Amino acid sequence: MPMIELALNVVWLAVVAGAFAVMPRRSSRATLALTCVLALLFPIISVSDDLALSSNSLEEALAIIVSLLILVAGFMAVARVEHELPAPALILVTIPSDPRSPPRA
């Protein structure tokens, strides 16, 4: 049993290292989002070692882990999308003027 717990903790550390290695460094929001996702992923991977070693529950645990890895990859893809603000509309305001010169006094 301790070997499974150690193996799943190593899997979690590998997921964390891989996620931070692939993530772009330009956005602190993306880093925060990835950190939150990985923090949520740790208890799920950790609780999977408490499951009984029947083949059905092990398959369910692996399905959960794979689906969460896909979710992390999706979050990383969303974090890479750049948001571009549209250029503001320019309104040209002209002051009507008389092209003739003022009268001489």
pLDDT tens digits along 16-56: 788 778 776 777 777 787 788 778 777 776 665 555 455 56
Backbone conformation region of residue 103, classed left if phi is above 0, alpha if psi is from -120 to 50, else beta: beta
What pLDDT is attached to residue 51? 53
Q: How far apart are CA 17 and CA 34, in angstroms?
A: 11
% of the chain at pLDDT higher than 70:
79
Confirm whether pTM is higher than 0.75.
no
